[in-house]
Chain A
Amino acid sequence: EAGVVQSPRYKIIEKKQPVAFWCNPISGHNTLYWYLQNLGQGPELLIRYENEEAVDDSQLPKDRFSAERLKGVDSTLKIQPAELGDSAVYLCASSPGLKTGELFFGEGSRLTVL
């Protein structure tokens, strides 16, 4: 069974440019998460989806970040415009939605903003 798939793995852009990350969760997993991870730190939640509904986006900087999960499967995270401080790894994770459910992470998308 395929795991969580993310693309691109690496992205280098100049500040003020837009960037988008894509995530395909494990089949059947209703819950999808986007996390931001800075070097040497643990993941920080940006947004959580239950099917196509964003149920927790309190930590998403909505002035420049947006996300969508059309049809409750794939998801896209967008940054526009990117700032130097956005350089980080963006991790997508999915879970079956159970209370004790394990998080299954993708490989991450590493963003460098110059």
Chain B
Amino acid sequence: KNQVEQSPQSLIILEGKNCTLQCNYTVSPFSNLRWYKQDTGRGPVSLTIMTFSENTKSNGRYTATLDADTKQSSLHITASQLSDSASYICVVTTSSSGTYKYIFGTGTRLKVLA
């Protein structure tokens, strides 16, 4: 069964600190993996996309990694800011027979405190 699991479920950190969010998936065949940020009361917004051949990709203070062998991805946030408080959702795209589907994780809720 195609699944995406994220950890931790929730996280509280102080402003300025770093944190790492984890995503493990059992999705086959794998097409790509995206991290989305969802602010409270808003729709998710894409942060990064990782394809099979990519190990690391940065977007400002956000750095995503992908280990296709172990089927794990991480999202590292550097020097956190209050505006980083949100849910972060890992989404894996799978394709077969010419169609594709998005498999969503349940998200990690991050709270950054002043």
- Which residues from chain A sit less than 8 Å from chain B, CB to CB? 4, 40-45, 55-56, 91, 93, 99-100, 102-103, 105-108, 110
Contact = CB atoms under 8 A, between A and B. Distances in A.
Interface in B30-75: 31-32, 34, 36, 41-46, 49, 51
A91 B102 CA distance: 14
A35 B49 CA distance: 21
B106 A41 contact: yes
B95 interface: yes
A43 B44 contact: yes
Contacts, number: 54
A106 B43 contact: yes
Contacts of A56: 99, 101
Contacts of B32: 100
A9 to B, nearest CB: 9
B93 A99 contact: yes
Given A105-B43, A105-B44, A100 B107 contact: no
Interface centre among A4, A91, A110 (most CB of B within 10 A): A91
12 contacts: A40-B107, A41-B106, A42-B91, A42-B105, A91-B44, A99-B31, A100-B49, A102-B34, A102-B49, A103-B44, A105-B43, A108-B42
A91 B89 CA distance: 14
A93 B101 CA distance: 13
A73 to B, nearest CB: 19
